[in-house]
Structure 1
Amino acid sequence: MTNRIRIVVVDGHTLTRFGLLGLVSGQADIEIVGDTGLGAEAVELVESVKPDVVVLDTVLPDADGLRIARELRDRYAGLGIVLLTSNGADDTLFRALEIGVSAFVSKTAPIAEVLAGIRHAAVASGSFLASGLGQAYARRKSAVPAPVLSPREAEVLVLLGQGLSVPAIAGRMFVSHSTAKTYVARVYEKLGVSNRAQALMAGLRLGVIRKELASTALKSAQ
């Protein structure tokens, strides 16, 4: 008879823990040897029962599950760590990859995927398994970085949002007309726009100017 995969479940939702217990009870090669709903108890529980795999929620009532995962990985290089998450955002996935967890599985994933994550973690704790990893990499590669405005350029964009002309901007910033004109040109260039209305819309997307401010300025520009 082969050894069974011994797992600890760390999840703040009681129903999730009982659901995993029910799921595992039907598997001949997996058994739950401990569970807790608190991150504060996770490391001590792992030390006590020495499981092969920890199934860990990313969001716990008293802790960041990713922080617990990092601590467990630092302590136990060979421990399988499965992050079971309701947050499938790319940044969460890449944080899990960076930490060195074994598998990243959505709570809405099919049962077969959850079990596959556990079994993978038991035999290949140092490799990363995640559904959608390829698509996440593609999104990261195609993402266009947001333009970075200097503090003075951001100030110019806000003043444009207030409806000020170039001469008025020069007066407000205590610079020459030509300097203010240069600042406006730099803002347009960095944002990839050619006029005030486009600059205001870009500033709104970047969060540099408020929606109501942009709306008022756009009306006055029409």
Structure 2
Amino acid sequence: MIRVLLADDQQLIRAGLRMLCDAEADLEVVGEAGDGREAVTLAARLTPDVVVMDLRMPGVDGISATSRILSERPSTRVVVLTTFGDDDHLYPALTAGACGFLLKDAPPAELLDGIRRAAAGDSPFSQDVLARLVRRAVDSRADGPVRPVAGLTGRERDVLDLVGAGLSNAEIAERLHIGVTTVKTHVTALMAKTGAPNRVRLALVAHAR
């Protein structure tokens, strides 16, 4: 069971998210927070696996709340769910430690998949957000040159291409007709071979080779 904490200042949105999660057998909403300060308090008390975090909230905003939650409990996975997909919101959220960034106009299935992916250690991003991250990284090389890709097996190259396309481990497994555990093994090997510390960086490798 994946324990989920919802943080959003709009009660109607929290209610909709709760109904969405409650309809899934593997998700349990353990709490709701109306602002960042409450989110920090509840995260410490309820120890959720995943926090679905809005960014614009009164008092303590979502970025500050994310930073505080992860400083106290680094194993918590924070997925941003926001109306604002611009760089002014995206990069501060990632710097604060959010593992994923989804937009509120995303289909319900994408949100549910994002929560599950986050709990499994993955990094869920809306497709346009991931594409922008990769484009910006390719253009700027802000975190250093991409290590040349060498010594990859054919299957690892297939997996790398699909990571670059923004697919989740489950989607890659379905596309390649292999198990999700096998995909995770390939992704881990790819990170080791390319020096990519996370999935976004691995997607950059896929686009730069």
Q: Normalising by structure 1, report the TM-score.
A: 0.58
Paired amino acid for 1:104: F
Q: How far off is 1:90 after superposition?
A: 2.3
Structure 1 position 69 matched with structure 2 position 66:
yes
Deviations along 1:183-221, one digit per CA (max 9) or x if unpaired, are xxxxxxxxxxxxxxxxxxxxxxxxxxxxxxxxxxxxxxx
Paired amino acid for 1:85: T
For the 8 Å contact 1:54–1:79, the answer to whether it is kept is yes
For the 8 Å contact 2:3–2:50, the answer to whether it is kept is yes
Q: What residue in structure 1 maps to residue 47 of structure 2? A: 50
Q: How far off is 1:137 after superposition?
A: 3.2
Give the length in aligned residue pairs: 138
Map residues 91-102 of structure 1 onto 2, 5 A cutoff: 91-102=88-99
Map residues 84-123 of structure 1 onto 2, 5 A cutoff: 84-123=81-120
Structure 1 position 83 matched with structure 2 position 85:
no
User: What RMSD over aligned residues (CA atoms) do the two structures have, in Å?
Assistant: 1.7
Q: What residue in structure 2 maps to residue 134 of structure 1? A: 131
Report the Cα distance in structure 1 between the residues aligned to 2:97 and 2:62, rounded to whole angstroms: 13
For the 8 Å contact 2:36–2:64, the answer to whether it is kept is no
Q: How far off is 1:61 after superposition?
A: 1.9
Percent identical: 38
For the 8 Å contact 2:8–2:54, the answer to whether it is kept is yes
The correspondence for 1:39, drawn from 36, 40, 43, is: 36
Local SS of the residue matching 1:93: helix
Report the Cα distance in structure 2 between the residues aligned to 1:34 and 1:71, rounded to whole angstroms: 17
For the 8 Å contact 2:44–2:69, the answer to whether it is kept is no
Structure 1 position 17 matched with structure 2 position 14:
yes
The structure showing larger relative contact order (alpha-carbon pairs under 8 Å, at least 6 residues apart) is 2
Report the Cα distance in structure 2 between the residues aligned to 1:129 and 1:96, rounded to whole angstroms: 13
The structure number with the bigger radius of gyration is 1
Map residues 203-222 of structure 1 onto 2, 5 A cutoff: none
Q: How far off is 1:67 after superposition?
A: 1.1
Paired amino acid for 1:52: D
Q: How far off is 1:99 after superposition?
A: 2.2
Local SS of the residue matching 1:74: helix
- Identify unmatched segments of 5+ residues in structure 1: 144-222
Change (3 A) 1:37 1:52: same
For the 8 Å contact 1:104–1:130, the answer to whether it is kept is yes
